[in-house]
Structures are given as structure tokens and as C-alpha cells.
Amino acid sequence: MSKNQLINETHNPQLTSWVDSANLSGCDFPIQNLPFAVFTKIGSDEAFRGGVAIGDQILDLAAAKDSGEFTGLALKALEACSESELNTFMAMGKEAWSALRTALSNALVTGSSSQNILANCLVSQADAEYALPCNIGDYTDFYTSIHHATSVGKKFRPDNPLLPNYKWVPIGYHGRSSSIEISGSDFKRPKGQTKAPTATEPSFGPCKRLDYELEIGIFIGNGNALGEPVSIENAEDHVFGICIFNDWSARDIQGWEYQPLGPFLSKSFASTISPWIVTTEALAPYKTQWTRDESDPQPMPYLESSQNRTSGSFDINLQVLLETETMRNAEHAPTALAQSNFKDSYWTVAQMVAHHTVNGCNLRAGDMFGSGTQSGPKPEEAGSMLELSNAGSEPISLPNGESRTFLEDGDNVIMTGWCEKEGASRIGFGLVEAKILPAD
């Protein structure tokens, strides 16, 4: 299915909402977005339930279900969204996702007859707290940015930065889902074994080379049965949506432990996601061409399709900012460290799904993929401090006179993403942030 076939009335850039804040320039959550989260009111004893962002408000989907304004498949979807996790809704598949999106767009559009009733179903985002949007049963972290893989590889293998399989296989490893937390969940600096290059044996203590990784989180919707691969042509039908993801990394712990089986304690201490999942349907205007250099190996047939070539990439701008404790105390704004774009990935979302299931592996609703660190071709587009500081050898100068090679206690890392182009409405992903606390 081409990108144009995915565009419908919900993407019309002329649409406005009776929620006035959704119509402001630069708003992350206009009516063309309608992302999903799980929330409750701060300080209340109300249950967590599904919500959709519209401007600076949340449409309470449990309240919307009881409003009498929805029928049919959209009402069934709202019933699923009234649960404390979105897994049931995600498992319903794209027909239900699209039916609810269309119904919500019609209900929230300027002039809707539902305004008077649904206005009572709004909760200010300023009054909300969030939980993980779903039960993340399994989490796989990929390595899709060739720019990141090459940059990191050069530091360890200057003459051969990319391993032979990189251009043939969407590389990934099974991560730890239990330590994925929602934005705002501060965490302690991890401890572990490290070994200095000049030491004869390892030592134990707090990580000294703590880093962030600017990534995309990809949520699976309806899964597949064990033993039944998902074809690349159908892969995106199984993808519910995308969030912003910070996969924190302890580089010194990682350097000692990762051979021969890959990351372990260097990754499992904390990962942080943004509250809002932007659906693949909302992202349809920002699907774009995917290309592979003619001199590189071309994908094997199970990773190749004309659809993937014409519209397999997502044009998502990504940015990482740093707020140090000194900045915070002085009430200085966070400083931008880097900006990249998801469309520069070597492998697409559809290729990740097709490869993950080609051996018969079964995916389930709520499973999450990490895209791997999203770095672009330019030095200022690096998605980690490991790259920006050249493995700690070139300190990063901050506007207030501070510098960093890796993260320090009290640092707050903020990530965001947005899509923007002429002829389509700008949509955003909100923020993901967390602060580093001292080790015990």
C-alpha cells in the first residue's frame, strides 16, 4: 500500500479542533496527531486508563466511552482503552485503531456536535501523571543506524569498523523489559565491574562513563502465531505506533562485559520512554523513500519489497538536550546537544518486524523494539555522548562554561521528536526525560 493510500480525512491539514490549544503553531498534539497514553489525575485515587492528547489536554477515553457519543467498533475500542494498559486495544488491529482515530477526529473537530459533552471528558496535561502505556512483555533492541555503528566501530576496529554481517542482517539483541520506565522516572547511577585498559584485573564500583542513546521505540500491535513469520508487505499492519526512547548505557561496564554475548548489566539498569505513542496512521504523511547504496549488498527477498522502497522510512526529527544541575539551579534553559532524523536508518521498521519473525518468533501486543542509537551522517547528528566526545577524549563544551565527556550525577537528559513538512500538519511526540541520581 502506497503512502497516498494511507492518507485519509484525519490527516487533512485544514482541520482544526474546538480544543483551542490544539490549533496553536508548534503544538505537538494537533487534531491530526491524536497519540495514546495511560494516565490518571495527580493526587487522585482514580484508576489509570487510556487517554488521547489534544492540544494541552487529554481526552479521557474511559469517560468518552460512557459519553454516549460513540458506537460500533469505535465504542469497542474505547472499552479496551478504558483498561489500565492498552494491550487489549493494541491487539485489536489496524481496523479498530483506524475506526477509533476517525471517530475521535470527527468528535474533536471544530463544529462537532459532541463538543458540549466531550468537553467534560478533558483533563489538563498539567494535572496528569503517566504510567507505561502497556505491559511490555518483550523488548528487542536493534542497531539500525549505520552512522552510529560505523562511528562506534571505528573506536574499537579502526580498519574494519563494521562487522561483516551488519549490511546483511538487522542486528538486535533481547533486552530487559522490566527496567523500562516512563518519562520522569529518575534512576541511580549503576554499579558493576569495569576494567581499565592498563589494569591487570577488573574492579567494582559506580559506572564512570554513563551515556544516553537517542532512539525510537516501536510498539507491536496485533502479534503473530508461533511459527508463522510476518511478511515485509504486511509488517507495518502489526505496528501500533512509535515513541521516543532513551536507552541509557554504562559504557565502561559494557566494554568489559559485552564479549562474547553482548550487552547485559550495562543496559538493564534503566531505559526511559515518552508517555505518548504516535500511531503509524498519524505518521502516514511522513512516510518516505528508503534507499540502499548500490555498492552495498541489497536486502534478501524476505527483507525487500517495492512498498518498503517507496515509503518504508519515517521522516522523524529527533533532538537531545542536557540540563545540568548548575543550569537548573541558575534557571538556565537546557542546551541542545544533537539532532538527527530517523529516516537515515539503514534498516526500516518493516524490515525489523520481518526479520524478527522470519524464524517463526511470535510477537505479542505491547512488545517493544528499540531502533538503536539514531545518529546521522554529520558529527553534530551523533545520538550518544560516546560519539560526541570521541569516547571521552574530546570534552563537550556547554554554553554556561561547563563541559562533559559523559553524564554526571544531577544531569537531566531530555529528548523530543517531531515531524514537519510543507503540505502536512506538524505533529510531535512530547518529551522523554530522566535525571541521574548518585549511586548508593
Residues 103 and 151 reside in one and the same domain? no
pLDDT exceeds cutoff 70 at 3: no
- The average pLDDT across 313-319 equals 98
pLDDT exceeds cutoff 60 at 173: yes
What pLDDT, in 10s, does the model give residues 337-372? 999 999 999 999 999 999 999 999 999 999 999 999
Confidence of residue 161 (pLDDT cuts 50, 70, 90): confident
- The average pLDDT across 384-410 equals 97
| Rounded CA separation 8/233 (Å) | 20
For the chain, the 3-state helix, strand and coil shares in percent, each to the nearest 5, are 25, 25, 50
- In angstroms, how far is CA 239 from the centroid of its own chain? 13
State which of 104, 131, 158 marks the end of a domain: 131
Residues 100 and 35 reside in one and the same domain? yes
Question: Residue 296 carries which DSSP code?
Answer: S
Domain containing residue 33: 3-131
Residues 112 and 173 reside in one and the same domain? no
Residues 267 and 411 reside in one and the same domain? yes
pLDDT exceeds cutoff 70 at 136: yes
Is residue 148 among the annotated active site residues? Answer: yes
pLDDT at 190: 98
pLDDT at 2: 53
State which of 131, 162, 182 marks the end of a domain: 131
Residues 126 and 155 reside in one and the same domain? no
Residues 124 and 255 reside in one and the same domain? no
304: domain CATH number is 3.90.850.10
What pLDDT, in 10s, does the model give residues 11-24? 999 999 999 999 99
What pLDDT, in 10s, does the model give residues 117-130? 999 999 999 999 99
- The average pLDDT across 385-414 equals 97
Residues 38 and 176 reside in one and the same domain? no
Which segments of 275-382 does DSSP mark as H helices, in order?
306-311, 325-329, 349-357
pLDDT at 205: 97
Are 207 and 191 in contact, with CB atoms under 8 Å apart?
Answer: yes
- Mean pLDDT of all residues in the chain? 96
pLDDT at 261: 87
What pLDDT, in 10s, does the model give residues 52-89? 999 999 999 999 999 999 999 999 999 999 999 999 99
What pLDDT, in 10s, does the model give residues 195-227? 998 999 999 999 999 999 999 999 999 999 999
Residues 90 and 147 reside in one and the same domain? no
- The average pLDDT across 404-429 equals 98
Per the structure, the count of domains in the chain is 2
Cα separations (Å) of 141 from 173, 255, 344? 5, 18, 17
For the chain, percent of residues with pLDDT exceeding 90: 94
pLDDT exceeds cutoff 80 at 5: no
Cα separations (Å) of 69 from 37, 99, 105, 107, 255? 21, 14, 13, 8, 56
| Rounded CA separation 92/393 (Å) | 50
Residues 76 and 103 reside in one and the same domain? yes
Select which of 148, 238, 355, 356 is catalytic. Answer: 148
Residues 249 and 150 reside in one and the same domain? yes
What pLDDT, in 10s, does the model give residues 141-153? 999 999 999 998 8
- The average pLDDT across 301-328 equals 98
Residues 94 and 174 reside in one and the same domain? no
Closest CA to 82 of 147, 36, 150: 36
pLDDT exceeds cutoff 70 at 188: yes
What is the enclosing helix (H) or strand (E) of 54?
Answer: strand 49-54
State which of 79, 109, 131 marks the end of a domain: 131
Confidence of residue 1 (pLDDT cuts 50, 70, 90): low
Residues 248 and 125 reside in one and the same domain? no
pLDDT exceeds cutoff 90 at 258: no
17: domain CATH number is 2.30.30.230
